């Protein structure tokens, strides 16, 4: 089905970061097909899903049970209720180092981390850029790579400033056996 009212699988933008793969996507259900979106995302088999949406956005998308549904599929779910154009709250900023460490460990082990927001835009870009820098990428190169894969992931000036302020982690070199 195409045109107005069409339902399609949620689109994920994915690229390598820190030895694994990170992806950005809209919130499952934001396009009207929660179950289909959830199944599509689960088939990608992320180790972790980070949702940067408000409780109201979860309700609007029919995704009130997203956390339980994600966890039922064997994936860790982290929810930070960040509103459109917003920054993490003080308590969320305190929690960020733990969230980031979990995501970076999954990536370092070759895992997949999915970050979603209502439209898969600025909030996702803010979090993923910060993860990229914390994983050892140079801020300017990380931002360029982010924008080349997902141009709509550029957040507000404040969001991108928060991301760029991340402490740069040590670059990790992953050896792959010769094939």
Sheet strands side by side (includes 20-26): 13-17, 20-26, 112-117, 48-51, 76-79
| Domain presence at residue 7 | no
The predicted model gives 45-68 an average pLDDT of 97
Q: Exposed, middle or buried by CB within 10 Å (0-12, 13-18, 19+), for 51?
A: buried
Range of the domain at 136: 13-164
Q: What is the pLDDT of residue 1?
A: 33
Q: How many domains does the chain have?
A: 1
Is residue 100 in a domain?
yes
How confident is the model at residue 4, as a pLDDT? 42
Report if residue 26 sits inside a domain: yes
Q: Are the C-beta atoms of 38 and 9 separated by less than 8 Å?
A: no
d(CA 156, CA 61): 23
Q: Report yes or no on 2 lying in a domain.
A: no
pLDDT in tens, 114-167: 999 999 999 999 999 999 999 999 999 999 999 999 999 999 999 999 999 999
Binning pLDDT at 50, 70 and 90, where does residue 70 land?
very high
In a domain, residue 106? The reply is yes
User: Looking at residue 40, which CATH number applies to its domain?
Assistant: 3.90.190.10
What DSSP string runs through the chain? --STT---PPP-EEEEETTEEEEEEEPTTTTS-HHHHHHHHHHT--SEEEE---HHHHHHTT-TTHHHHHHHTT-EEEE----TT----HHHHHHHHHHHHHHHHHHHTT-EEEEEESSSSHHHHHHHHHHHHHTT--HHHHHHHHHHH-GGG---HHHHHHHHTSPPPPP--------
Find out whether 42 and 10 touch, Cβ atoms under 8 Å: no
Rounded distance between C-alpha atoms, residue 66 and residue 34, angstroms: 9
Query: Looking at the domain assignment, is residue 175 inside a domain?
Result: no
Report pLDDT digits (tens) over 152-164.
999 999 999 999 9
Handedness of CA 162, 81, 169, 145 (dihedral sign): negative
Q: Taking the complete model, does pTM exceed 0.85, yes or no? A: yes
Does residue 95 belong to any structural domain of this protein?
Answer: yes
pLDDT at 177 exceeding the cut of 70: no
The token pair at 146 is 């982010």
102 assigned to some structural domain:
yes
């Amino acid at each position: 089905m195409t045109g107005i009212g069409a339902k399609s699988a949620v689109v994920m933008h994915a690229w390598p970061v820190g030895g694994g793969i990170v992806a950005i996507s809209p919130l499952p259900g934001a396009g009207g097909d929660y179950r289909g979106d959830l199944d599509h995302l689960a088939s990608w088999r992320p180790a972790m899903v980070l949702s940067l949406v408000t409780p109201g956005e979860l309700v609007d998308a029919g995704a009130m049970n997203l956390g339980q549904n994600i966890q039922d599929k064997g994936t860790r779910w982290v929810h930070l209720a960040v509103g459109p154009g917003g920054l993490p709250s003080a308590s969320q900023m305190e929690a960020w180092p733990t969230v980031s460490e979990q995501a970076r460990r999954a990536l370092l082990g070759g895992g997949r981390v999915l970050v979603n927001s209502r439209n898969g835009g600025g909030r996702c870009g803010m979090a993923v850029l910060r993860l990229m820098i914390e994983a050892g990428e140079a801020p300017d190169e990380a931002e360029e790579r982010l924008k080349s894969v997902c141009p709509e992931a550029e957040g507000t000036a404040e969001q991108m400033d928060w991301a760029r302020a991340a402490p740069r982690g040590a670059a990790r070199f992953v050896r792959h056996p010769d094939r």
